Chains A and B, each alone.
Chain A
């Protein structure tokens, strides 16, 4: 599947970069003229994926996070968030609603929200080697009424 446009970003796992990642995702997706709701959903999903990497992949250190976005099939935004951190032992368990191994500022709803706000969610992880979360969201073409 060939992408028509893409970006690659890399940033350290500092929580101050959560807002930056959301803003970058929204700015990239805006070329497809999304609705406010679609844009809000993308920002939310990206925020969850990047926060997971910051909190869970690198709990005791600052590590690398790579975010890639591309447009595929003309109207689908694909976002992947990759880290090289500690990885997830049991992906299925980690995706269970309300399950969290994070602190009290985490609710255990991150993957649930990523899944709800995108059309496709894939999580690949290997303990000690890192995690890649890939999400796709279709942006509906808008009809112009004259």
Chain B
């Protein structure tokens, strides 16, 4: 999977692309941990518009980022999920824990 970022005015946006499954989840978690340590953002958006596939391992990644942002005193949210990740998010019901923002 691919991970890229943009940082502006205290807001870190992490763009996840490709396929996020259990095989990729640990590497994704470690990379995002590094990014949060490096930028210490006020807000963190996980942009899932380029994510072609995600299973419940992606839910674990999202929950971890949300918890880490709470510890940093900031907020995390999901941004523009592609259709398949959106269905997984809906089935897991994590929109109650982590808000979803649609810019489209």
Against B, the Cβ 8 Å flags (1 = close, 0 = not) of A83-109 are 000000000000001000000111111
B positions within 8 Å CB-CB of A: 19, 21-23, 25-26, 29, 53, 55-57, 59-61, 63-64, 83-84, 87-88, 91-93
- Quick one: given A43-B53, A113-B56, are A105 and B83 in contact (CB under 8 Å)? no
In contact, A47 and B87 (Cβ under 8 angstroms): no
Closest-by-CB residue of A relative to B59 is A107
Closest-by-CB residue of B relative to A47 is B55
CA distance A72 to B86 in the complex (A): 29
In contact, A51 and B91 (Cβ under 8 angstroms): no
Which residues of A sit under 8 angstroms from B60, Cβ to Cβ? Answer: 104-107
In contact, B88 and A113 (Cβ under 8 angstroms): yes
Q: Is the contact region of chain B dominated by helix, strand, or loop, or is it mixed?
A: helix
Q: A8 CB to closest chain B CB, in angstroms?
A: 23
**A54 interface residue, CB < 8 Å from B?**
yes
Closest-by-CB residue of A relative to B52 is A40
Which residues of B sit under 8 angstroms from A47, Cβ to Cβ? Answer: 21-22, 53, 55
Partner of A37, one of B22, B63, B83: B83
